[in-house]
Structure 1
Amino acid sequence: MKIASFNVNSINARLPRILEWFDSAKPDVAVLQEIKCVDEKFPALEFEDRGYNVEVHGQKTYNGVALLSKYPIDDVMRGLPEGDGDDQSRYIEALVMPDDAEPVRVGGLYLPNGNPAPGPKYDYKMSWMKRLKKHARNLLENEEAFVLAGDYNVIPQPEDAHDPKAWVGDALFLPETRAAFRELLNLGLTDAIRQANPTAPCFTFWDYQRGAWEKDNGIRIDHLLLSPQAADRFKDAGVDRKERGKEKPSDHVPVWVELS
């Protein structure tokens, strides 16, 4: 089972590139972030024609997430728990049920950026991370295979940035942000990309400005975290870096994990 995550930076603006990737990568399950459209504007038909079940948690102009699966899905949840008053569409989850394997729960997330920090946006980011940690802890109590995949807007370690000094003071790299990410991992989750590539940079985002792509001035902020039951089924993981070099690309590239 190949599970992928892709921050598409507007699904309708980049649909041809996104469909090209789906046709070549053939993920069994994919979570998308920053679709930037309401549910009824999501191009569901194009994905349904490719055999995907489609669930969307959209928002006009900003944010928005979607989950697509070639397998039947159940127990769909939109929004991270305990989000009273939070109207930003940043989380979607479902139980994916293959015919020939144990089910896997997949959560797709778009964690807040948090800049400028300090300030209300950073407070929201840290509050969101606390909610995510609590939800992950609750999921672990079920002792089921799950994957929390998406754009975390967290640079976990200095080696996850081409130029770490350039990110000092940024909400993505602040010590408090990185500590909150470690707390997630310390629950017993596995960073799939690092499991497959312990030391390689594995950047997933290159800014549109200042020739970041041409200079390989990237960062790693898209992650797939596995529960112990999912980690036991780990086969491989990777970053589809070449997508960033195509015409009118997203500033992110897809990341994926393969489970037995």
Structure 2
Amino acid sequence: MKLATFNVNGIKTRLPQLLAWLEKEAPDIVCLQELKALDGAFPQAELLAAGYSAIWKGQRSWNGVAILSKGAPPLEIRRELPGDPSDEQSRYIEAAVDGIIVAGLYLPNGNPRPGPKFDYKLDWFKRLHVHAQSLFDSGHPVVLAGDFNVIPTDLDVYNPKSWQKDALIQPEVRSAYEELLAQGWLDSLRHTHPEERIYTFWDYFRQHWQRNAGLRIDHILLNAELAPRLKSAGVHSWVRGEEHASDHAPVWVELGAARKAPVRKKPKAA
């Protein structure tokens, strides 16, 4: 099974690029972020024609999340992150897909800081900690996937000094990500590429893509039930080089089959 996350940066604008990627790489499960579209504008028919069922929660501007799957449709669990009923931003969606709980998220950017947007980012992270712990402890295989808007370490940015004032690299944000991992989640891309400068985002400005001046801010985290199934992980960086591309590239993991519980034989009758 191949699972991927992709900040598509406008699903209407980049639908041709999304469909081309789905056709070439054929992931089984996909988490999308930054739909930038209301629910009625989601391209359900086009995705169905490409072989993907979907659930989604749209929103105007910078938000909107979705989960796609080949074959059986995702079974929706929730469409918001628990903990704040007043939060109307579309940043979280959760479903059961092929025996896995899939949580797709788009964590707030937090800029400019200091200010209310940075405070919202940290508050959202606290809510994520609480819910992620319940998911981790559920006993089910769980994946947290999406655009976390976190640069975890200096290895995950082309030049830390250039980003030292940005919300994505602040000590409080890095600490919040480390606290999440401390629950037991496996950062699949970093686990697979422990010493590699591997990026998932390249800004549109100053030739960042052409210079490979990137960031690693899109992550796929696996809980203890799912981590043993990890076979490989990577970035489909070719997508970023396409015409009218998103500033993100898809991150993917390949998972092995779930182990079947041994069948216990009934004792023979005396």
TM-score, normalising length: structure 2: 0.93
Task: State the shift of 1:71 in Å.
Answer: 4.1
Q: Please list, as runs of the form range in 1=range in 2, the aligned pairs for 1:4-19 lying within 5 A after superposition.
A: 4-19=4-19
Distance 1:143 1:71, change over 3 A: farther
* Partner SS for 1:135: helix
* Partner SS for 1:232: helix
Structure 2: 5+ residue runs without aligned partners?
257-270
| Of 113, 117, 130, the match for 1:117 | 113
| CA RMSD, 1 decimal | 0.9
Task: State the shift of 1:74 in Å.
Answer: 2.0
Q: Determine if contact 2:55/2:76 at 8 Å carries over to the other structure.
A: no
Measure, in 2, the Cα distance between the counterparts of 1:202 and 1:121: 28
TM-score, normalising length: structure 1: 0.96
Offset from partner CA, 1:186-232 (integer Å, 9 cap, x none): 00000010121111111000100111111111010000010011101
Letter in 1 for 2:89: Q
Q: Determine if contact 1:57/1:92 at 8 Å carries over to the other structure.
A: yes
Q: Please list, as runs of the form range in 1=range in 2, the aligned pairs for 1:154-233 lying within 5 A after superposition.
A: 154-233=150-229
Structure 2 partner of 1:139: 135
Measure, in 1, the Cα distance between the counterparts of 2:76 and 2:175: 31
* Partner SS for 2:169: coil
Structure 1 partner of 2:24: 24
Structure 1 partner of 2:260: none
Structure exhibiting the larger radius of gyration computed from Cα positions: 2
Structure 1: 5+ residue runs without aligned partners?
98-102
Structure 2 partner of 1:58: 58
Structure 1 partner of 2:80: 79
Q: Please list, as runs of the form range in 1=range in 2, the aligned pairs for 1:231-242 lying within 5 A after superposition.
A: 231-242=227-238
Structure 1 partner of 2:36: 36
Measure, in 2, the Cα distance between the counterparts of 1:58 and 1:24: 26
The answer on 1:128 being equivalent to 2:129 is no
Measure, in 1, the Cα distance between the counterparts of 2:71 and 2:94: 14
Q: Determine if contact 1:71/1:96 at 8 Å carries over to the other structure.
A: no
Letter in 2 for 1:27: P
Structure 1 partner of 2:48: 48
Letter in 1 for 2:82: P
Letter in 1 for 2:213: N
* Partner SS for 2:167: coil
Measure, in 2, the Cα distance between the counterparts of 1:214 and 1:75: 39
Q: Determine if contact 2:19/2:50 at 8 Å carries over to the other structure.
A: no
Task: State the shift of 1:172 in Å.
Answer: 0.1
Q: Determine if contact 2:78/2:93 at 8 Å carries over to the other structure.
A: yes
Offset from partner CA, 1:119-144 (integer Å, 9 cap, x none): 10000000001111111101122111
Measure, in 2, the Cα distance between the counterparts of 1:188 and 1:199: 20
Measure, in 1, the Cα distance between the counterparts of 2:20 and 2:117: 35
Offset from partner CA, 1:17-44 (integer Å, 9 cap, x none): 1110000010100010000001110101
Q: Determine if contact 1:65/1:90 at 8 Å carries over to the other structure.
A: yes
